[in-house]
Amino acid sequence: MIPGKFCLSIWSLAILSSVVVISPVTAADLQPIPEPPPPPTELASGWTFRIIPYAWLSGLYGSSTVKGRTVGVNLPFDKLLEKTVGKGNLPVALMGDVEARYGPFGIYSDLVWTKVDVSGDRIHVRRFAPGITGAIGTAHDVTIRMGIAEAGAMYEVARFAMPHADSPGIPVAIDLIAGARYWYQQTNVSFNLTAGLNLADLVIGSRGLAVAKSGTVDWTDPFIGARARFEIAPGQNIFVRGDVGGFDVGSRISWQAIGGYSFDFAEKNGITYSGLIGIRALYVDYSQGAAQTRYAYKMLQVGPAIGVGFKF
């Protein structure tokens, strides 16, 4: 008969051997525990300031009405540049953006100034009878001086890490925005009408010129919107923003959409330098008066924007 203590020892050795044999297989089958996503980037303490002067290479698409006379505008930036260079005008909108933040709260302002001068012509010819031909030629010039001043406040309502297949997570921040956009415009529209009648060998012609000036027109649009910022890498961000306004307070409706990419490229004496490339679209539908006193501006400005920023 085998003593009890001896039997217990045999069973203990058997269990230990099983653990030793099975353990390597079990360890090989186990998957490493995935690392948790990194916490979102913390908000900077104290005030931070960012200044971005940049150029907006925008085209114009829409119509302008001055004293009841309407002119259609359909000019991409390259055509606008071609028609305005050499006339002392500014087809590029110069813009400056300033933003100050304290924790989740921020305020900002944005200024735009542009002057464009575009022209066009058209000829209509009609044959009334053999030997009798009539022609009407129209030419128009439109000069628009425009300033846009925008100011608003923003509040960060969410900050989280968005899952991504190739990284633990992308930090994302969401801001709500509210503010006002002030528009200042001076628009001149001139029409040159030329008419001719060809009766066999007799040519009869006449010419007339009409000029309509808007004077100074200005209005203010309230707006609300949101912005999302994605930190795709340290010092590199993708941002998208949208807002809608007007609400018949100033214009009937106005909306804006912006998207871009910013990247830090240098830091010196506490100032971070960054580049910015993106695209901006701004639409407004404004009108006042009626008949011969009607002024209307229904226009979409859209095009790329490039600039350099300073943050401290």
> What pLDDT, on a 0 to 100 scale, did the predictor assign at position 157?
98
For residues 71-83, average pLDDT: 77
Residue 35: inside a domain, yes or no? no
Task: Choose among 153, 157, 158: nearest CA to 177.
Answer: 153
For 209-219, write each residue's pLDDT tens digit: 455 566 789 99
Whether 298 and 56 have beta carbons less than 8 Å apart is answered as no
| φ, ψ for residue 45, nearest 5 deg | -85, 145
For 112-144, write each residue's pLDDT tens digit: 988 777 665 443 444 445 555 444 445 557 778
> What pLDDT, on a 0 to 100 scale, did the predictor assign at position 71?
79
Sort 230 into a burial class: Cβ within 10 Å, 0-12 / 13-18 / 19+: middle
Contacts of 213 (CB under 8 A, 6+ apart): 66, 67, 186, 187, 188, 189
Most confident of 31-45, 101-115, 138-152: 101-115
Q: How far is CA 186 from the centre of its chain?
A: 24
Which of the four pLDDT bands, split at 50, 70 and 90, describes residue 18? Answer: very low
Sort 215 into a burial class: Cβ within 10 Å, 0-12 / 13-18 / 19+: exposed
Scan for tokens 């909306």, then name that residue: 255
d(CA 165, CA 150): 39
Structural domain boundaries, residue 202: 48-311
Number of structural domains found in the chain: 1
pLDDT at 30 over 50: no
Q: What is the pTM of this model?
A: 0.75
For residues 275-293, average pLDDT: 94
Task: Choose among 272, 278, 179, 165: nearest CA to 224.
Answer: 179
pLDDT at 205 over 60: no
- Least confident span in 51-60, 79-88, 227-236, 258-267: 79-88
Residue 115: inside a domain, yes or no? yes
Which of the four pLDDT bands, split at 50, 70 and 90, describes residue 2? Answer: very low
Residue 230: inside a domain, yes or no? yes
Residue 306: inside a domain, yes or no? yes
d(CA 142, CA 140): 7
Q: How much of the chain is helix, strand and coil, in % rounded to 5? A: 10, 70, 15
d(CA 9, CA 157): 65
- Least confident span in 2-11, 33-42, 44-53, 302-311: 2-11
Q: What is the domain-level CATH number for residue 130? A: 2.40.128
Residue 135: inside a domain, yes or no? yes
Which of the four pLDDT bands, split at 50, 70 and 90, describes residue 202? Answer: very low
| φ, ψ for residue 58, nearest 5 deg | -100, 150
> What pLDDT, on a 0 to 100 scale, did the predictor assign at position 192?
62
For 45-69, write each residue's pLDDT tens digit: 689 999 999 988 888 899 888 888 7
Beta-sheet pairing, 59-66 with 69-75: antiparallel
> What pLDDT, on a 0 to 100 scale, did the predictor assign at position 88?
57
> What pLDDT, on a 0 to 100 scale, did the predictor assign at position 137?
45
More confident of the two residues 41 and 276: 276
pLDDT at 82 over 50: yes
Residue 6: inside a domain, yes or no? no
DSSP letter string, 61-101 = EEEEEETTEEEEEEE-HHHHHHHHTTTT-EEEEEEEEEEEE
Q: Quick one: what percent of the chain has pLDDT higher than 70? A: 64
For 166-186, write each residue's pLDDT tens digit: 667 899 999 999 999 999 998
d(CA 65, CA 142): 10
The per-residue pLDDT of the chain, averaged, comes to 78
Q: Quick one: what percent of the chain has pLDDT higher than 90? A: 46
Residue 159: inside a domain, yes or no? yes
**10 Å Cβ neighbour count for 75?**
21
Residue 91: inside a domain, yes or no? yes
Sort 281 into a burial class: Cβ within 10 Å, 0-12 / 13-18 / 19+: middle
